[in-house]
Every structure is written in C-alpha cells, then in structure tokens.
Chains A and B, each alone.
Chain A
Amino acid sequence: DVKVTQSSRYLVKRTGEKVFLECVQDMDHENMFWYRQDPGLGLRLIYFSYDVKMKEKGDIPEGYSVSREKKERFSLILESASTNQTSMYLCASSSIFGQPQHFGDGTRLSIL
C-alpha cells in the first residue's frame, strides 16, 4: 500500500513565524500535491510538483512556497504565518494521469 506521511497531526504556531509542513511518500510517485481544506470550501490546491525541483502554483499559492529536493519529499512553507492560514493541510501523491491520489492524514495547523 502507498504510504503518505505528514510530519505532524497538530501544530500550533504564532503569527509571523516561518512554518514548515513536511510530507513523505514511499511509492516513487512523480506527482505530489498540497491542498488546504476548510469547512464548506472543500479542498483547494496550493502547490503541486511533477518532478524533483519542479513546482507549480495551484489555485491559492499566496503566502506559501514549496520545496522538493528529493522525489519522496515535498515540503510546504508558510513564509510568515498569519491567522487566516489556520486550516487543515493535506498532502497527496500520484503516479500517472488518471490514477488516484493517495493522501496523508493531514496536519491541523493553528496560527495564534
């Protein structure tokens, strides 16, 4: 089975801090994704990556950046955390077009 592991289930940070969310997958998938999940809004794409060192903006990239130095690891970075970034963050990976994405357990991030 594909395993997507997010480093933290819960995280509390302060406004202005730099925050790192880590995601690791063990199935050698080329594609990795970061989504943000808010009640009533579903999941929205923040960034995705289709190869090492490659990254593309999704629908809501403002205030975020990403890093993919190794194929199995995709990091989401909040450069200067703000309260409106309090949310659930989900990481996913997939292989070729049409194959389902596999998700991590999510990180519930609170910015105080």
Chain B
Amino acid sequence: AQTVTQSQPEMSVQEAETVTLSCTYDTSESNYYLFWYKQPPSRQMILVIRQEAYKQQNATENRFSVNFQKAAKSFSLKISDSQLGDTAMYFCAFMENSNSGYALNFGKGTSLLVTP
C-alpha cells in the first residue's frame, strides 16, 4: 500500500514566485526521516532537503523549506523565488527502519514547471 501521497501530479509557477508542494505520509513509527528529492530532465535524483521526525524545527536549505506537521503527518515543500532551473519532478520520500531496511518509500511525484 502506498504510504506517501503527493496529491498534486502537476503544478506551474511563474519565475520569482513561491510555490508549495504537498505531501502526506502514514506510519506508526516515532523515529523516521523525510526527504524531498528533485529529478530534472537530466534524470539525476538530487536531494533537496531532509527532515528528522524528532526535530520540531522545520528544515531549510536556501530557497527551499518545509512545513513539517508531525501530528497531521504532513510534509510540504515550499520553494521561494522560483527559478527556471527548479523545473523538475519532485518526489517526497519517507524512511523508517522496517523490513525493507533503510529503503525509501516514495510518493508518485509532482511535476513542477517554472515559467518565465
């Protein structure tokens, strides 16, 4: 069963604007990690941001920040001052210590298009 849900298959934003990508997940664990990965047309999966579940403070990496709501099991990604190079597929992913080792559970992705 899919444990990571990205409800927006496609989104579009104008250059310099702010966009928020949604992600919800399901787990009964208390110790887990959340990630956002970016996959541009070149196909290389690039780590955008990482969040530790036991930390209440939202992670931030330059123009990228998250809104982590542990009780609601929500982990959205905010991109500020969008740039053309942000055009990519974005995947939310979840890691817990399970029968699948340290594997990532991925959402189905959100395709983001940044327009001039």
- Interfacial residues, chain A to chain B (CB-CB below 8 A): 31, 33, 35, 40-45, 48, 50, 56, 58-59, 88, 90, 92, 94, 96-98, 100-103, 105-106
Q: Taking A41-B108, A90-B45, A105-B44 as contacts, is the C-beta distance between A31 and B101 under 8 angstroms?
A: yes
Instruction: Check B100 against A42 for contact (C-beta < 8 Å).
Output: no
B25 at the interface (CB under 8 A from A): no
Would you give the shortest CB distance from B95 to chain A, in whole angstroms?
A: 7
Q: Taking A48-B103, A56-B101, A97-B95 as contacts, is the C-beta distance between A42 and B44 under 8 angstroms?
A: no
Chain B residues with CB below 8 A from A50, complex form: 101-102
Bound Cα distance from A48 to B101, whole angstroms? 8
Q: Which of A45, A90, A96, A105 contacts B100 (CB 8 A)?
A: A45
Measured as residues with beta carbon below 8 angstroms from the partner, the interface class of chain B is 20 to 34
Chain B residues with CB below 8 A from A90, complex form: 45
Q: Which of B33, B50, B103, B106 has the most CB of A within 10 A?
A: B103
Provide the B92-116 mask, 1 if CB < 8 A to any CB of A, else 0.
Answer: 0001010111111011110000000
Would you give the shortest CB distance from A35 to chain B, in whole angstroms?
A: 8
Instruction: Check A101 against B101 for contact (C-beta < 8 Å).
Output: no
Some 21 contacts from A to B, beta carbons below 8 A apart, are: A35-B106, A40-B9, A41-B108, A42-B4, A42-B91, A42-B107, A42-B109, A44-B106, A45-B100, A45-B103, A45-B104, A48-B103, A56-B99, A90-B45, A97-B102, A98-B102, A100-B47, A103-B37, A103-B45, A105-B43, A106-B43
